[in-house]
Amino acid sequence: MTPLRPQRLAQSALRASRTASRPSYRPTCLLPSTTSSTNNRRAHSTSSVSADEVSHFSGLASSWWDPMGPSRILHLMNPLRHEFIASCLADSSPAGAANAQNSKPESSANLDYLDIGCGGGIFAESLARTIPLDPSASAPTPTRAASMTAIDPTTTLIEIARDHARRDPTVDAHMRSGRFQYLNTTLEDVLSTSTSDSTSPSSPQPQHRQFDMVTLFEVIEHIDPTTTTPQAFLANCLRALKPGGWLIGSTISRTFPSWILNQVIAEAPWPIGVVPRGTHEWSKFVNPSELYSWAQEGLMRAADTNVSRGGPSALDGMQWKCAGAVYVPGLGWKMVPGSEDWGNYFWAVKKGN
């Protein structure tokens, strides 16, 4: 039983892409107040990448969808993401969009999804595939997706994701109809874009677009703690969430067993290790208890408006969910209750109504 980072086979390439080509998770992009580069956000996502990292990254890009390639473990984990989302929705379901044709909102595909840090689109495309071609049809899967907006600041990855999505006629149809879209943008951009249907400025409703479900798979542990805080990032994620919606993610806990497995064993010299030395930054891993408190903090910050501060009342109706996942060589990923502290785990925060 080895808790591993899903990217264990792709460390060097992923590290390059995460640190170099996702600079928008740094505070300059996450927090508009500190920005000096918000105006050329898109430009810097490529300009700050060194030639060495670009070549590294190109290697990853071409193999992102290779089932036997470096992203294999990430692909294998993907079905569990669907199962975890389904379990969250079974616990408590967001209202979703009103649907006149369907009298049973609990079974209709009426949830809008936002996938932050979609990369090559492993999760986003799989969720888009479950969107019914007929919007009034009942949801084919418990994830009940009506639309999917997937964002990543890395231009190359978005291109790969779009290119791959065209190879599936169903997903291609959703891209053409606009119910599935890849945006080469940052979370902050999404938050700063006003929605056309927002009402008067005095309304307490936020001006930006919000989603029923926001997903954040294997992203939070890659935030550089020296330049930003995960709290600030989580608060922004929660701002994108409608009341009653779920923010769902996965990451790795920072505990002794995970240190042994991820640092000592996985990065041992060949033939024991499968990961180049220096891939994992154990100190960046996040424990469930830390996430829980950041989520609380984030909910309160997300409730802040220009005129008032969101207090503890922002936590009313909040729900928290956490489930460990373990990679067993030969068997694949398994949900193991109580294994949150061993390594990989899924977590979810529900915003109160």
Query: Interface with another protein by CB under 8 A: which residues?
Result: 67-68, 75-76, 78-79, 82-83, 125-130, 140-141, 143, 163, 166-169, 172-173
- Smallest gap from Cβ 122 to another protein, in A, equals 10
In DSSP terms, 255 is beta-bridged to none
d(CA 97, CA 10): 39
- Is the peptide bond between 276 and the residue preceding it cis, with omega within 30 degrees of 0? no
Give least dist CB 85 to another protein, A: 10
Angle at 71 between CA 62 and CA 247, to 5 degrees: 115
Rg of the Cα trace of the chain?
20
The β-bridge relationship of strands 145-151 and 111-116 is parallel
- Has 222 been labeled as part of a binding site? yes
Output the smallest distance, CB 40 to another protein, in A.
31
Q: Per the annotation, does 84 bind a ligand? A: no
Beta bridge partners of 347: 249, 322
Which burial class, exposed, middle or buried, applies to 284 when counting CB atoms under 10 A from its CB (0-12, 13-18, 19+)? middle
Q: How far apart are CA 117 and CA 255, in angstroms?
A: 25
φ, ψ dihedrals at 119, nearest 5°:
60, -135
Q: Which is nearer to another protein, 129 or 208 (CB)?
A: 129
Q: Which is nearer to another protein, 166 or 277 (CB)?
A: 166
Rounded to the nearest whole angstrom, what is the least distance from the CB of residue 139 to another protein in the complex? 11
Q: Contact at 8 Å (CB) between 281 and 252?
A: no
Task: Please count the other Cβ atoms lying within 10 Å of the Cβ belonging to residue 330.
Answer: 4
Smallest separation (angstroms) from another protein to the CB of 75: 5
Q: Which is nearer to another protein, 67 or 201 (CB)?
A: 67
221 annotated as belonging to a binding site for a ligand: yes
Within the chain, how many helices (H) and strands (E) appear?
A: 12, 8
Nearest CB to another protein, comparing residues 148 and 240 = 148
CB 248 to another protein: min, Å:
15
C-alpha distance from residue 199 to each of 124, 195, 204 (Å):
30, 9, 9
Smallest distance from the beta carbon of 171 to another protein, in angstroms? Answer: 8
Q: For residue 157, how far is the Cα from the chain centroid?
A: 15
Tell the smallest beta-carbon distance from residue 69 to another protein (Å): 11
Between 88 and 127, CB nearer to another protein: 127
Instruction: Kindly state the helix (H) or strand (E) to which residue 180 belongs, with its residue range.
Output: strand 180-183
Of the two residues 127 and 237, which places its CB atom closer to another protein in the complex?
127
Which of residues 42 and 129 has its CB atom nearest to another protein in the complex?
Answer: 129
152 marked ligand binding residue = yes
**H or E element, residue 334:** strand 332-335
117 is in an annotated binding site: yes
Query: What's the gap between Cα 81 and its chain centre?
Result: 10
Nearer to another protein, 51 or 68 (CB): 68
**Sign of the alpha-carbon torsion through 102, 105, 107, 113:** positive
- What is the layout of strands, in order, in the sheet containing 332-335? 180-183, 145-151, 111-116, 211-217, 241-252, 344-350, 319-328, 332-335
The annotation places the binding site for S-adenosyl-L-methionine at 81, 117, 152, 217
Give the residue numbers of the binding site for Mg(2+). 218, 221-222
Annotated binding site: 81, 117, 152, 217-218, 221-222
